[in-house]
Amino acid sequence: MEQMLAISLTRFHAWLSSISIERLSVDDEAKKHLIEFQDVAADVMFGYFGRRLIPEDIRVESEGKQTPNEQVFYDGLAAAHEAKEAVTALTDRVAG
């Protein structure tokens, strides 16, 4: 009987972000794609979670230096976070 390990789809991106590029024995193109993914994942995780941890005055100052595209990106992540909280609250109310 063969044993198989699996990772949840909701955790897959976090696992990919943890892979050490130096330990991989793959071609340079695959490494390049993984590095790009890890950079984007870091930006998304910071935008979704990290911005709330930064003191308000520092966050406001840094947001003033963002490009319009960065502002749209981070505003979208903030909206996604708010939507997730609303869905969770509604789910909890329905379950209760």
Alpha-carbon span 8 to 33, nearest angstrom: 22
More confident: 91 or 8: 91
- Average pLDDT on 33-46 reads 87
Q: Which amino acid is at 80?
A: A
Confidence class for position 25, pLDDT limits 50, 70, 90: confident
Compare 63 and 79 and report the one with higher pLDDT: 79
Helices (H), the chain: 9-17, 28-48, 56-63, 68-95
Average pLDDT over residues 2-19: 82
